[in-house]
Chains A and B, each alone.
Chain A
Amino acid sequence: MKESLRALWHDVGSSLRDLAPIIIVIAGFQVLVLGQPLATLAPLARGAVFVVAGLTFFVYGLKLALFPVGESVAHSLASKGSVRWLFIFAFMLGFGTTFAEPALIAVANEAAQVAAREGALRAGDTALADYAFGLRLTVAISVGLALVLGVLRIVTGWSLPAMIITGYLLVVVVTLFAPEEIVGIAYDSGGVTTSTVTVPLVAALGIGLASSLRDRNPMLDGFGLIAFASLLPIIFVMGYGMLYTWN
């Protein structure tokens, strides 16, 4: 009990560290440049407390529940050498962690609201919720596929730069055909997916897999999963935008 309290306290510390630079920079600008203390300080402070508490519980819960299971499954699959299940696991891992990613939930809602305000979306709460849900689903599927691709690359030893540059080319080509208003959201969704939840698990999967395979260099082959996970959503979300306007 005492130990878990200490672990929880440690997570409070790291959540605060996430937020501290933002608070310091914004406070510095408020005092030095803008010369006015924030008028709406009370709700902002209350919100910041919610952010810290929420992030703390979230990460602590993940450490209790998801990380041990994820790591042990990744490890036993990597050493057992069942490639098919490894792919299925990689897909579900990417899909699951992305679908529950707080930043993605927030961004999808915001994107839907902006789209509705600008008239690119039918008004009404259900249309809004549908759009946001579809966006999240698209991103989650694409991150799942990205991890499958990444694992496939580690197993086969294909060249990462060649695959990434092909991905860039695809992004450029799809951009030409995508509706203008989805492009920004699509490009941003690449960066959104790979934050607090996904990175530790994905890094563990990649480096563990590369270390357990013979003649694979963890430095060369272990990294690179996250690169796929931030590239594929761009292409898929643009595809989602095309389908959405088409309908």
Chain B
Amino acid sequence: MELILDTLRTLARTAIDVVPVVLFIGAFQMIVLRRPLSNPLQLLSGFILVVIGLGLFLVGLEQALFPLGRLMAEQLTHPELIGQAGDTLDLQWHDYHWLYLFALAIGFSTTIAEPALLAVAMKANEVSGGAISVRGLRVAVAMGVAIGVTAGCLRIVTGTPLHYFIVGGYLVVVLQTAFAPKLIVPLAYDSGGVTTSTVTVPLVMALGLGLAQAVPGRSPLLDGFGLVASACLFPIISVLAYAQLSAWRAQRARRRARIPVSVSSQEEDNHAL
């Protein structure tokens, strides 16, 4: 009964949220493009579905995704699992290895299955004329997210301020941008944002907040956020690294094909150094 009431209340709130967007699109269509709405019935049913879907999703989020993230954080930091019953003050950062393994697994698996990423990878493959392989890009991004979530968990455990961590990441990105093939740079910058889907974000967020609550000496407000940010930052680094690696390999293969030491290949060597 309470669930039904809760769902209805969420639906009402969602409807209020979505109405301005609908009005805007309608107004834009009529005033700017001076075209009547082509299929008002389809539009209306679409927006009703959007409201219902958003409402159901938000209820499900409260019931499943947030509790799951919190629960995993609690269980993976439980003293019994870590093997130190009783004295929790002695815990070192490396005692939480199961947590890091979980972070790696959840980061990699949610990203590799992400439909938005597949679409972007296919587009990139097409636009680059096959130089960027679909699988290579997907694995690069997934590894980036996995490392990002894990490093974010490590940060919460050690209590390093988030901005040191993010600013350090930015520095790496800036350095890499200077050396990476130009064509990949915009794609790499985008790949960070693309990967974090509507389902993954709340789960990862709850994991971080739960972690900050469970690890002694951490505050959820100061330490709990930041997992999503680092999950967005590391794919930029890994995609740039992937592009650098493929460019380097292609260059080496080209050099191998030309065995005699000619002036031009020496020049190329100098260039590579």
Contact = CB atoms under 8 A, between A and B. Distances in A.
A-B complex is real = yes
Interface of A: 14, 17-22, 24-26, 28-29, 33-34, 38, 40, 43-66, 68-70, 73, 76, 85, 88-89, 92, 96-97, 99-103, 105-107, 110-111, 114-115, 117-118, 120, 160-161, 164-165, 168, 171-172, 175, 180-181, 183-185, 187-188, 190-197, 199-200, 203, 207, 218-227, 229-230, 234
A144 B109 CA distance: 31
13 contacts: A20-B113, A21-B109, A29-B72, A33-B98, A54-B55, A62-B46, A100-B50, A105-B17, A111-B225, A118-B219, A184-B225, A184-B229, A191-B196
A197 B194 CA distance: 11
Given A105-B17, A181-B222, A46 B114 contact: no
Contact of A219 (B42, B128, B202): B128
A54 B115 CA distance: 17
B106 to A, nearest CB: 5
Contacts of B110: 18, 21-22
Given A44-B68, A161-B177, A219-B187, A175 B50 contact: no
B36 interface: no
A28 to B, nearest CB: 8
Q: Which of A65, A183, A220, A226 has the most CB of B within 10 A?
A: A65
Given A22-B110, A172-B170, A58 B205 contact: no
B158 interface: no
A191 B60 contact: no
B269 interface: no
Contacts of B167: 172, 175
A180 B222 contact: yes
Interface string B20-50: 1110110011001100001000111111111
Given A51-B65, A172-B167, A187-B166, A60 B49 contact: yes
Contacts of B189: 160, 164, 223-224, 226-227
A58 B49 contact: yes
Contacts of B79: none
Contacts, number: 329
Contacts of B81: 33-34
Contact of A34 (B75, B112, B220): B75
Given A54-B58, A110-B66, A227-B186, A165 B174 contact: yes
Contact of A22 (B44, B45, B198, B199): B199
Given A96-B24, A107-B205, 8 more contacts: A29-B98, A47-B62, A48-B64, A97-B21, A172-B163, A185-B225, A224-B190, A227-B186
B162 interface: yes
B193 interface: yes
A160 B198 CA distance: 27
A46 B199 CA distance: 16
B198 A195 contact: yes
B49 A61 contact: yes
B28 A22 contact: no
B147 interface: no
B232 A230 contact: yes
A88 B75 CA distance: 48
Contacts of A46: 3, 63-64
A46 to B, nearest CB: 6
Interface in B113-158: 113-116, 119-120, 123-124, 127-128
B198 to A, nearest CB: 4
A161 B190 CA distance: 12
Given A76-B33, A187-B166, A227 B193 contact: yes
B221 A92 contact: no
Contacts of B199: 18-19, 22, 51, 55
Contacts of B52: 54, 57, 61
Given A99-B20, A223-B190, A63 B198 contact: no
Nearest to A160: B186
A99 B54 contact: no
A217 B221 CA distance: 43
B41 to A, nearest CB: 10
